[in-house]
Structure 1
Amino acid sequence: MGILAVIRENLPPKPTFKVDDVPDLEGKVIIITGANAGEKLRQRRQVYPQHGVVYIAGRSQERVEQAIQDIKAETGKDALFLKLDLADLTSVKAAAEEFQRKETRLDVLYNNAGVLGPPIADVTAQGYDLQFGTNTLGHFYFTKLLLPTLLASAKTSPDGKVRVINVSSAAHHWHHGSIDFNILKDCPARKKKSGLMLYGQSKLGNILFSNELFRRYAHEGVISTSIHPGNLRSDLYRHMSRIENFVVNLILYPSAMGALTLLWAGTTDEGLTLGGKYLIPWARVGTPNASARDPKLAEELWTWMEEQVQNI
């Protein structure tokens, strides 16, 4: 089943869902993390709806604001900058507080940012493995801090729902077994692991977090889904060697196609039925690996992440 699932994810059929199928999102407030760089910008620009209020959350104000200008010039759509460094939990806290000073509602949170294959010595500001700290723990804390706004927005939404879209990857299949909690902070054992294994572990963490978020808050209107957006041409692979990049590029799709599954989950009526699901290209329901479907592991990871952020 694992091999078949990977093939199904990485060799998708022609999409039936189109960007034109996105409904009007007037009055909606949306946050997208990490949507300001290179190919990722060209992919994510389609996520910015007409009539909605969109915040792009990223580390570099200069790069995000340049991205916003480019989007507006090409599409007429506008967006707002929110400073966020997911590799620093104090920055995550500051970003959530800044957003809550500006807005009283949040309808869709796209936990989209990510890092793949940085130098193994790189860690977050608080000493966590850079990939897990950025991709998983940072997004957990950001979502946790925004939960009061999400829950309040669900109560006033016509459908009684809000959405959290957690971008994972087919790379979670690279990591077999449980989360190794002993290597999530820097230690000699972590340095012996491969960067791809650590990336896969962080993407497994995205799915587990998404599932547990839905389990805990579905009854209050939070529709949480995890997504493999597709193997896309982007700057995500910038840390790979020239040979690795050559091989990877043989199976990559145009970056703009990555918006399809995100838009399907984040904007459509059908998306409201996808809570707790793992979605794959292009706008389909997939099957993650067995570890990602383990409710005990999801609860264990949630508890661990709660403990990491409680004193920030």
Structure 2
Amino acid sequence: MDLSDLTSIKPAVEGFTTQESRIDVLINNAGVMFPPDGSRDAQGNDLQMGTNCLGPYLLIRVLWAGSIAVHVGTPNRQGIIIDANGQPEDKGVKANYGQTKVGNVFIARELAKTTAETGVVHAAFNPGNLRTELQRHWTGLDHWIVDKTILYPPIFGAYTELWTSLAPELAPDRSGAYAYPWGRLGALPDGIEESLTHSGISERFLQWCESQTREFI
């Protein structure tokens, strides 16, 4: 499937379900970061928002990839700037990436409200700062400094994802939790918690995701 094209999701799911009767864990880890300015998905959305949030939202809802950008790469204290319809505003490539990571935190927490009925545990995770192809479009001095100082081999991200998939601490009563590298529960910034609990921002964002993907189900 191509997460940047919502028309590819349903056929891929149908192909899977013809071969398998169950799925135990799904880690929505595929994503893009800092693509060329103006990049769009097949439906015309910002490429990062389409690939990192809308594609996985339509696919299935289990584990959602956050990032250190949740803490340091968002355009405002609330983590995301949305319009009256819940659509994230275009704040430039780097801020948009941060908004997609916060968007995944919102999706995990909002869908966790359904755990009691569905039995599905949702969680978001920061896989860690990893040296991968994710940075292929990131150039300049800031990237060179980050690459030389805080990036780890990709296998460390697998440690985080496996812990989030398997840890007994993530029982249904902790659905919606946020995991830190390399496998531990962590807190979100206060402003993002406010978006999740008081302002209605996370609910409006989820409603926007639903409106954008409904016709592809």
Q: TM-score, normalised by structure 2?
A: 0.87
Q: 2:206 aligns with which of 302, 306, 309?
A: 302
User: What does residue 81 of structure 2 align with?
Assistant: 180
RMSD: 2.0
Check if 1:213 corresponds to 2:111: yes
| Structure 1 stretch displaced more, 292-301 or 226-235 | 292-301
Cα distance in 1 for residues equivalent to 2:208 and 2:140: 37
Q: 1:202 aligns with which of 91, 94, 100?
A: 100
Check if 1:260 corresponds to 2:159: yes
Cα distance in 2 for residues equivalent to 1:252 and 1:238: 14
User: What does residue 108 of structure 1 align with?
Assistant: 25
Give 3-state SS (helix, strand or coil) of 1:270's partner: coil
Shift of 1:262: 1.1
Conservation of the 8 A alpha-carbon contact between 2:66 and 2:101: yes
User: What does residue 178 of structure 2 align with?
Assistant: 278
User: What does residue 55 of structure 2 align with?
Assistant: 138
1:288 aligned partner, one-letter code:
L
Give 3-state SS (helix, strand or coil) of 2:95's partner: helix
Check if 1:96 corresponds to 2:96: no
Cα distance in 1 for residues equivalent to 2:162 and 2:120: 17
Conservation of the 8 A alpha-carbon contact between 1:264 and 1:270: no
Aligned residue pairs total 205
Tell me: CA distance 1:261–1:178, structure 2 relative to 1, closer, same or farther (3 Å): closer
Q: How does 1:1-312 map to 2 (within 5 A)?
A: 84-143=1-60, 164-173=62-71, 174-175=73-74, 176=76, 177=78, 179-182=80-83, 184=87, 190=90, 193-249=91-147, 250-272=149-171, 274-293=174-193, 294-295=196-197, 296-312=200-216
Give 3-state SS (helix, strand or coil) of 1:223's partner: coil
Bigger CA radius of gyration: 1
Cα distance in 1 for residues equivalent to 2:100 and 2:184: 22
Shift of 1:291: 4.4
Cα distance in 2 for residues equivalent to 1:105 and 1:262: 20
Deviations along 1:268-294, whole A, 9 cap, x unmatched? 323335421111012111111234321
* Structure 1 runs of 4+ with >6 Å offset: none
What is the identity percentage for the equivalent residue pairs of Structure 1 and Structure 2?
39
Shift of 1:165: 1.5
Deviations along 1:196-255, whole A, 9 cap, x unmatched? 100000000000000111112343211111000110111111101142321111111222
Give 3-state SS (helix, strand or coil) of 2:182's partner: coil
Shift of 1:114: 0.8
Tell me: CA distance 1:179–1:245, structure 2 relative to 1, closer, same or farther (3 Å): closer
**Structure number with higher relative contact order (C-alpha < 8 Å, ≥ 6 residues apart):** 2
Q: TM-score, normalised by structure 1?
A: 0.61
Conservation of the 8 A alpha-carbon contact between 2:63 and 2:122: yes
Give 3-state SS (helix, strand or coil) of 2:137's partner: coil
Cα distance in 2 for residues equivalent to 1:260 and 1:309: 31
Tell me: CA distance 1:184–1:298, structure 2 relative to 1, closer, same or farther (3 Å): closer
1:179 aligned partner, one-letter code:
I
1:224 aligned partner, one-letter code:
H
